[in-house]
Amino acid sequence: MSELQHQSASDFAGVVCGICQTGIQAEESVGTCPACQSPFHAECWAENGGCAQYGCAHMPSATPAETGVAARTYWGQEEKECPGCGQQIKVAALRCRHCGAVFSSDQPMTSVEAESQFQVGERRAAAGTAALWLFVAGLLPCTAPLALAVGGLWYLGNRDVVRRMPSQRRVMALVGLGASVVTTSVLLLAALFLGQ
């Protein structure tokens, strides 16, 4: 298989990938065919085994049937239903070419399972943002008492989510909580000594 010439995705934002027929987003890994310069997602290029433009020198030379490599199947089916739009897509697809939905696994899932996966992802993203705010608020003396009260309650209610966070966000949450305890204690001691 020929190599994709990697380029900045921002140069192709909004252009449709010739393989999956979805728009290229600015944060995706993309490149152009070395022969015809058509843009493709890097993962689409790899899955297709080359260019998808008819007549291009870098088109895959053989189909899976010709090479003896069977198409990916799930319980004998080569296609699955996209839980987002209901269209048929390949079993191996991690992105729907019709609606652009992205999946964490290539196993077929119902719309309820897809929604549950989306909600878990949203909850983790929200917890990561909360960890960042707890870190910042815990370090500032004017917000440390509030960070201790609100952050402490948030931490107690989300310990399982915090344990599964990326280590950087988990450390930020714990440092923010610890800093809010220390800062609030210092503020209380200062208020007691100054009040006497």
Q: Is the pLDDT reported for residue 185 higher than 90?
A: yes
Q: Which of these, 158, 138, 155, lies nearest to 146 by C-alpha position?
A: 138
pLDDT tens readout for residues 19-62: 887 888 878 888 888 888 888 888 888 888 888 887 788 787 75
Q: How confident is the model at residue 1 (pLDDT cuts 50, 70, 90)?
A: very low
Residues 55 and 43 in one domain: yes
Asked whether residue 125 is domain-assigned, the answer is yes
Mean pLDDT of all residues belonging to the chain = 79
Residues 76 and 137 in one domain: no
Unique residue bearing structure tokens 């008492």: 145
Q: How confident is the model at residue 136 (pLDDT cuts 50, 70, 90)?
A: very high
Q: Considering the entire predicted model, what is its pTM?
A: 0.41
With respect to residue 67, please indicate whether it lies within any of the assigned structural domains.
Answer: no
Largest CA distance in the chain: 89
**Residues 140 and 178 placed together within one structural domain of the fold:** yes
Same domain flag for 77 and 143: no
Query: How confident is the model at residue 81, as a pLDDT?
Result: 81
177 alpha-carbon distance from chain centroid = 27
Of the pLDDT bands very low, low, confident and very high (cuts 50, 70, 90), residue 149 is very high
What integer is the mean pLDDT of 117-141? 81
Banded pLDDT at 97 (limits 50, 70, 90): confident
What is the C-alpha separation between 80 and 110, in angstroms, rounded?
10
Q: Is 116 found in the same domain as 104?
A: no
Instruction: Look at the chain and report how many structural domains it folds into.
Output: 3
* Of residues 109 and 32, more confidently modeled: 32
Query: How high is the pLDDT of residue 105?
Result: 65
Task: Report the pLDDT value the prediction gives residue 184, as an integer from 0 to 100.
Answer: 92
d(CA 163, CA 152): 15
pLDDT, tens digit (0-9, with 9 covering 90-100), for 154-172 = 888 888 888 877 888 888 8
12 lies in some domain: yes
Share of the chain above pLDDT 70, in %: 79
